[in-house]
């Protein structure tokens, strides 16, 4: 289902998308077709936002991309195994404190202790939780737990980040800060990402492309290139073009239920 990481990149290989779905579909074992056949690719260094009504298959798609859920039709190619996943629920280990939770993925990846500590310190700083390193998950709010989950994902500096509504539980201000942080990390680390959100403005702020889904049956109804995507030099975005894109997505979503 997934191909191994390419070890000898040539120009052709570098231009190949990191993920390619070709007529992929998902029917769960109870016979429910969650997503009808679709094509989609995620390029290297590209952030793809997914929006759509509840139950349209967004989580299903990124779970398949991550190899957590089997495809039941079509072909899925993923050209890296170096990925991190931020689940819709924060999934922290209750008996481990913040630092220990954040270091876990890097530890499982075999990153040595000193490097791991360094990476975790920076990630915890990034999500604004330095004062809570020793806290246990039950001592944190929902939004703080999601920030721990995000810190855990970025600690390994993965090629590919799968994010399932990572900022949904955050207040507006923290959410805007986290969006800016994510883009800053992207400029430095050059990862690819699939980012699920129910917020149109978030999808538009973060995405190079926006996947607009619809339900009954779950499907992709449009994939739209951003007229003013995030750039490596952080140059100003065309706010007017982005507002128009948001309005377009909003119109599509109005008919998506």
Ligand X SMILES: Nc1ncnc2c1ncn2[C@@H]1O[C@H](COP(=O)(O)OP(=O)(O)OP(=O)(O)O)[C@@H](O)[C@H]1O
Question: Could you say which residues in the range 110-129 bind Mg ion, by CB under 5 A?
Answer: none
73 vs 234 by CB, closer to ligand X: 73
Q: Per this entry, what is the length of the chain?
A: 257
Are 65 and 78 within 8 A, CB to CB?
Answer: yes
> Per residue in 190-207, is it b (16+ CB within 10 Å) or e — as a string?
ebbbbbbbebbbbbbbbb
Q: Quick one: what does residue 8 bind among ligand X, Mg ion, none, with the CB cut-off 5 to 8 Å set by partner type?
A: none
Q: Is 34 in the site for ligand X (CB under 6 A)?
A: yes
Q: Quick one: what does residue 218 bind among Mg ion, ligand X, none, with the CB cut-off 5 to 8 Å set by partner type?
A: ligand X
Of 49, 59, 101, 155, the residue at the interface with Mg ion (CB under 5 A) is: 59
Of 12, 54, 172, 173, the residue at the interface with ligand X (CB under 6 A) is: 54
156 vs 166 by CB, closer to Mg ion: 166
Chain centroid to CA 63: how far? 11
Q: Is 166 in the site for ligand X (CB under 6 A)?
A: no
Which residue in the block uniquely carries the two structure tokens 């805007």? Answer: 176
Are 48 and 42 within 8 A, CB to CB?
Answer: yes
Task: Please report how close the Cβ of residue 246 comes to ligand X at its closest, in angstroms.
Answer: 19
Q: Is 60 in the site for Mg ion (CB under 5 A)?
A: no
Q: Which residue's CB comes closest to Mg ion?
A: 59
34 vs 193 by CB, closer to ligand X: 34
The CA R_g of the chain, rounded to the nearest whole Å, is 18
Q: Give the C-alpha separation, 89 to 207, whole Å.
A: 22
197 vs 226 by CB, closer to Mg ion: 197
CA distances from residue 97 to 116, 129, 146, 151, 176 in whole angstroms, order as listed: 15, 12, 14, 13, 26
What are the residues binding ligand X (CB under 6 A)?
28, 30, 32, 34, 52, 54-60, 88, 218
What are the residues binding Mg ion (CB under 5 A)?
59
């Amino acid at each position: 289902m997934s191909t191994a990481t390419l070890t000898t990149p040539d120009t052709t290989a570098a231009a190949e998308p990191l993920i390619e779905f070709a007529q992929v579909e998902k029917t769960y074992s109870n016979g429910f077709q969650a997503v009808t056949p679709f094509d989609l690719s995620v390029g290297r260094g590209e952030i793809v936002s997914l929006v759509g009504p509840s139950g349209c298959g967004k989580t299903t798609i990124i779970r398949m991309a991550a190899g957590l859920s089997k495809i039941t039709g079509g072909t899925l190619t993923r050209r890296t195994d170096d990925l991190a996943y931020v689940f819709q629920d924060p999934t922290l280990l209750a008996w481990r404190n913040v630092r220990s939770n954040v270091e876990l993925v890097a530890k499982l990846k075999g990153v040595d202790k000193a490097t791991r500590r360094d990476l975790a310190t920076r990630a915890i700083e990034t999500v604004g939780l330095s004062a809570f390193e020793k806290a246990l998950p039950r001592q944190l709010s929902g939004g703080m737990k999601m920030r721990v989950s995000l810190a855990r994902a970025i600690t390994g500096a993965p090629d590919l980040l799968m994010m399932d509504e990572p900022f949904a539980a955050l207040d507006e201000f923290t959410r805007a800060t986290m969006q800016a942080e994510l883009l800053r990390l992207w400029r430095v680390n050059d990862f690819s990402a699939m980012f699920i959100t129910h917020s149109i403005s978030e999808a538009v702020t973060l995405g190079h492309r926006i996947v607009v889904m619809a339900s009954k049956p779950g499907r992709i109804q449009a994939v739209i290139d951003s007229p003013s995507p995030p750039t490596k030099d952080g140059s100003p975005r065309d706010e007017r073009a982005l507002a128009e894109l948001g309005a377009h997505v909003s119109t599509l979503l109005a008919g998506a239920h």
